[in-house]
Amino acid sequence: MNILKFLMEQFSPELISKLGSTIGENTENTQKALTSAVPSILGGLMNTASSSNGVSSIESIMKMAISSEVGVNFMSMLESNEETSKVNSMGTNMLTNLFGNKVEAVSNSIASSSGIQVSSASTLIGMITPYIMGKLGVQANSTSIGVNGLMSILSAQKESILGMMPSRFAGALGLENLSTLGDGIAGTTKNITSNINSNSKVDATINAGNNSIMKWILPLLLLLLAGTMLWYFLKGCNNNAGGNIGTDITNIADTAKKDILNGGTDIANTIDNAGDSIKNKTTDAIDGLGAFFKRKLPNGIELNIPENGIENKLVKFVDDVNRPVDKTTWYTMDRILFETGKSTLKKESDEQINNIVEIMKAYPAMQLKIGGYTDNTGDAKVNLKLSEERATTVMNAIVKKGIDLARLKAEGYGQEHPVATNDTEEGRQENRRIDVRITKK
């Protein structure tokens, strides 16, 4: 279960409108606040679970929420001032358990990121915390994973949750940065996360320093990759190259690491071949997208996009009144890059994410479905999970820039629906992708 996605789906348009009315904010700003508040509360859970007796404390909170039936009757409770006050009081106690004396700082960070008043943010998180804890508690019980299992899943999905938190959240908790959040979660996440990235064993061996050759060759390899990436950016500064370059680079790097760990006899050739392969694939990707040009949107915003890129294809589709929406027309995002084996977007993806956001703002009726795909290498279940996390990460990145979550859906398909053969590296590269389909225009 994707915990953040599951919780966001619990807030229907009617419920969001009711919450907005209750806290005295408009629906749009309330939606933005929820987009920050829900992951912030999950951050509080991770922070609490990493402390001594943290999981037992969370279990008590969930039992309280379940017994109050707030997870079931939340909407009707908001109709009564007395019930609303009870829910808010319960939430205030829960927030104190999660954040201690930092509740006000958390409210400030949510208010700052969404544009609502601090008092509104404080009331909002006070009301939705019991609702969230009730929903999570029921899930933990009904699936028999328990609170420990739920916290383990939460830890495994940490990266996508961090991406949706307010920028000031780390400071609100007194952390230097969010990367350390929940590092000490009680219980083990080993069984859940061990298969997420098939390269983790390689990474662990490198980090442990079990092979002395890595002490000098890994920095050299990384230096080569950094230099090649610099070449790519310099060449692509006017025609931002895309495709699945990031995937190719990381696969080449992983292959090189494995060769080194397996006692490869010709390290110099490995490095040279890696550089040549990256350069060739980068050039191919640049050529494949066509020339960049200025495309003006209906709201006057001008995008600098490639002729054969997804942005131009989406605009053409939505502008064509003779083309109805269907379930088979998908377009591949051509300048989206992820960390190796992870759902973390690289900085280079920002331009295409921003372009998609501007297109959706220019066409306010447009709705999109985002699909994640992998090749057939490795375990099918692991591939399915990674593809869903990547699709959700892209969706969250778009939402974070101001697009209503109700206009987007994300789903992972794993190794299903290949667009090329998996018998060659080129084919597998094409199958590792993020696709987008217009579901309403």
Which of 142, 174, 193 is at the close of a domain?
193
Which of 142, 172, 193 is at the close of a domain?
193
Round the average pLDDT of the chain to a whole number and report it: 80
SS3 420: coil
Distance from C-alpha of 300 to C-alpha of 316, rounded to nearest angstrom: 16
Residues contacting residue 27 through CB under 8 Å, at least 6 positions apart: 13, 16, 17, 20
What is the reported pTM? 0.48
Going by pLDDT thresholds of 50, 70 and 90, the confidence category of residue 132 is very high
Distance from C-alpha of 181 to C-alpha of 39, rounded to nearest angstrom: 12
Position 145 scores a pLDDT of 82
More confident residue, 54 or 300: 300
Greatest pairwise CA separation for the chain in angstroms: 75
161 and 228 together in one domain: no
Query: Which tokens go with 308?
Result: 């054969």
Length of the chain: 441
User: How many separate domains does the chain show?
Assistant: 3
Position 210 scores a pLDDT of 44
Query: Which tokens go with 354?
Result: 């921003």
Query: Which tokens go with 148?
Result: 């420990």
Residue labelled with tokens 């084996």: 341
414 and 308 together in one domain: yes
263 and 332 together in one domain: no
Provide the pairing of β-strand 433-440 with 408-412: unpaired
212 burial class (0-12, 13-18, 19+ CB within 10 angstroms)? exposed
299 and 399 together in one domain: yes
| Helical axes 245-261 vs 214-235, angle rounded to 10° | 160
**Above pLDDT 90, what percent of the chain?**
50
Task: Check if the beta carbon of residue 376 is closer than 8 Å to that of residue 422.
Answer: yes
Residues contacting residue 206 through CB under 8 Å, at least 6 positions apart: 214, 218, 257, 261
**Above pLDDT 70, what percent of the chain?**
75
Domain that holds residue 151: 3-193
112 burial class (0-12, 13-18, 19+ CB within 10 angstroms)? middle
More confident residue, 89 or 254: 89
52 and 176 together in one domain: yes
Position 336 scores a pLDDT of 92
